[in-house]
Amino acid sequence: MNYSAELKKFVTSQYISSAVRIALAIAIPSVILSYFGVLKEYFLFPLATSFVGLTDMPGPYIRRRNTLILTILCFMFVMGVAGILKDYPIFIYLEILIFGLFFTLIGVYGIRMAAVGGLTLVVFSIFVDGQFFHHHVLMSMAIFLAGAVWFLLVFMVVTNIQPYKLPSQMIGENYLELANFLKIKSKFYLKNQNHNELYREVIAKQVVIKNLQEDTREIVFKTREIVSESTTTSRLLMLMFLNSIDLYEKLMTSENDYSKIHQSFDEEKILDKIHDYLQILANEMTQIGISLQSGIKTQALVNYSENLEQLHHDYFQLRSKNLNPDTMEDFMSLRIVLSRIYEITKDITTMYQVLNQDLSNAKSLSTGLDLNQFAPKSEKLNLKVLSNHISLQSSHFRHAVRLTAALLTGYAISQLSFLGIGHSYWILITTLAIMRPAYSTTKHRNLLRIYGTFSGAITAYFIMIYIENAYALLGIFVLSMVMCFSFLKDRYAWAVFFMTIYIFLSFNFLNPGQVNTIFKDRIIDTIIAGIVIFLCSKFILPVWEHSLNLNLMKRSAMSNYSYFHAVITQLKTGNIPTQEYKMRRKDAIISLANLSDNFQRMLSDPKNQKKKMETVLEFVNTSHLLTAYTASLSQYAHAKKKFTEIDFDRWEQKISNELLQTNAILNQEKWEKIQTNSASIEPEEKELDHLLAERKNKILENEIYDARDPNRITTLTQLTNMRKILILLFDVATQLKKTTELYQTREKQNE
């Protein structure tokens, strides 16, 4: 592992920038208040800052600003209600019921509103029993409001000073994940690899890339500075992001029949050299990603063009030695692999040039696309959308009921006097932090929360026992906040570890000498919350992942068919507009990623809920190959020449029959086409067969010359590879249909 690159990736990431901004927004007023000796009286100020800061999610500036304002209004409302009713226990349960359902259910409007609702419930939990009202209710609300507005001001100032910082970091992160994707793909060229396991890694990484691209789309396509302003930086960032999407497709086109390649070339060293070169390209993508995140120009790590020349030299040497009529098509396949590698190399070279040259005279980098079509869709804020989800058929409503029940149970337990719980709100906060709509995600976060809390509590205990220097403790406090907010999205256990440390230190600043009490309460409350969460998640209106499989399979199958249809139509007629083609590609990739993500979550469900898991896994893997082979075919759809030697009409009929039957089976519709035996449809490609036979005769008669032009791919090589891809597509489409039939058969058996 390149630890230097890993450190640079982390330090330049958006997570660190956001974490530092939140931590400093909390620490600076805390230090000032502490200096004047009033931190304890005005502790609600930095507390409000921290909670408002946590709702600031990546996105367009206007949306982030409006979300922060809405967050502040929600915080003040629940705080005011809690303050008025804190002395009436019967109403507290009613508050939990109403607020729990409402603020969980607003998650139907998207992740951003879900975060607002969740943090609003956290604020409500803190004030629900009146422990944090150190002043009159109105005075406490005023202090809390000041801290919330303080973060809003910090956000507006920092964002206006660096309007392109977040988009640049997000685009850079796309390149970093593409580098990781390429590293996984390179392993297919090594000997004795478990290809099924590698495919699982590929699919899991596709889920990550899909989610990241969706987040970046919202920022890039909906931020005025990026889309509308005629600045060099905005156009450059738009270009780099669109190039990252196209590069992702090119990486997907590198899908091959790896078993056949290894069978043909395992005894040679050429495949190991391909792996090594792909690793070099992945490192260059990482360098580009770090450059975008940091905003600093960069240079290539190595002279990779020399490595590419050597790779081509090795290929031609091997070809000269082993080429014969029997191995001709194998060398054609390997030549196509090198061609794709060459195209990826050209893209990386272009990206370095764009990053480092002076674009001050650039006139336009317009794509000609309707960018709004590519931005993720979000629900409009209207009551009809909300009311439509008030049903047990809605997974959002079931989650709201489940979470509210857990909050009510947790609060009731905290009021049992014989338990002696001193910080009852920790049970509620832990419940809100862990509980998610999916049982598998909740179970996983529950375990991570326990690990992080126990280890963090022990670490904080020894810190407060053995470190007495106030400045050292303050430094640890700020560092813990930064690390907590940095890890909150991707490394939850570490986030909880550092969160526990800074919570312990903050309570120690307010009430010195209470370390034993804090330690005991934190551990007990976490255990109680964990038990409540487990029971509620498993027994109160659970939503198991297998219940979502069928709809996701339908979307993936239909999206794959639409993508294939667009590519084959483009090959036949060239009449598919670029925007329509890219939209279908986007839909196919997103649908596949959603299906894959659902399957990964299903692995954590109870054993009796992992229904038809092997069949679903086969469907996921086959769908992945279908998308990848279609992407491989699409590279020829962009070519300006026509490939009349390929019988695209019959290939389309042959493959489409299988795909349409798959969709019909999934939708339980009758397949009424007369021609359903796709295997009997034989494409007429006599001209291509003649060209192949002619080429083999020339090889046999030593009439093939050693033409070593790495940039030249013969038309025959392209035609041969195209037919191989179409054969693979038909085989995969047939397998997908069989898997679908097996799935539906088992579905009927379970009814």
What is the Cα–Cα distance from 442 to 436, expressed in whole angstroms?
5
Token reading at 44? 């609600």
On the question of pLDDT at 676 being above 60, the answer is: no
Q: Which residue has the higher pLDDT, 596 or 143?
A: 143
Average confidence (pLDDT) over 666-681: 67
Mean pLDDT of the chain: 81
At residue 211, the pLDDT reads 80
On the question of pLDDT at 607 being above 80, the answer is: no
* DSSP secondary structure letters along 522-586: HHHHHHHHHHHHHHHHHHSS---THHHHHHHHHHHHHHHHHHHHHHHHHHHT--S-HHHHHHHHH
What is the Cα–Cα distance from 315 to 334, expressed in whole angstroms?
9
Q: Please, what's the b/e burial string for 514-550 (b: 16 or more CB within 10 A of its CB; e: otherwise)?
A: ebeebbebbbbbbebbbebbbebbeebebbbbbebbb
DSSP secondary structure code for residue 106 in this structure: G
Helix axes 515-539, 492-510, angle to 10 degrees: 140
The backbone region for 641, taken as left when phi is positive above 0, alpha when psi lies in -120 to 50, beta otherwise, is beta
Among 108-117, 148-157, 518-527, 698-707, the range scoring the smallest mean pLDDT is 698-707
Token reading at 668? 């339980």
Q: Which residue has the higher pLDDT, 24 or 701?
A: 24
On the question of pLDDT at 235 being above 60, the answer is: yes
What is the Cα–Cα distance from 88 to 90, expressed in whole angstroms?
6
Q: How many residues does the chain have?
A: 751
Q: pLDDT (tens digit, 9 = 90+) per residue, 537-592?
A: 888 888 777 778 888 889 999 999 999 988 888 888 877 777 777 788 878 888 88
At residue 176, the pLDDT reads 93
At residue 614, the pLDDT reads 82
What is the Cα–Cα distance from 636 to 350, expressed in whole angstroms?
21
Q: Which residue has the higher pLDDT, 100 or 488?
A: 100
Residue 672: how many CA atoms within 13 Å on its side-chain side? 2
Token reading at 351? 């990206």
Residue listed under structure tokens 């397998």: 735
* Percent share of the chain, pLDDT over 70: 88
Smallest CA-to-CA distance from 51 within 436, 425, 438 is with 425
Residue listed under structure tokens 């360098």: 287
Smallest CA-to-CA distance from 144 within 77, 54, 46 is with 46
On the question of pLDDT at 129 being above 90, the answer is: no
257 burial via Cβ count (<10 Å: 0-12, 13-18, 19+):
middle
**Confidence label for 707 from pLDDT (cuts 50, 70 and 90):** low
Number of Cβ within a 10 Å radius of residue 469: 8
Token reading at 483? 């690390």
* DSSP secondary structure letters along 370-430: -GGGTSPP-----HHHHHHT-STT-HHHHHHHHHHHHHHHHHHHHT-GGG--S-THHHHHH
At residue 538, the pLDDT reads 83
The answer to whether 264 and 330 have CB atoms below 8 angstroms apart is yes
Number of Cβ within a 10 Å radius of residue 506: 21
Q: Say whether domain 547-750 belongs to CATH 1.10.8.
A: no
Smallest CA-to-CA distance from 620 within 606, 640, 599 is with 599
Alpha helices in 195-266 (DSSP H): 195-222, 224-227, 232-252, 258-265
604 burial via Cβ count (<10 Å: 0-12, 13-18, 19+):
middle
What is the Cα–Cα distance from 75 to 297, expressed in whole angstroms?
42
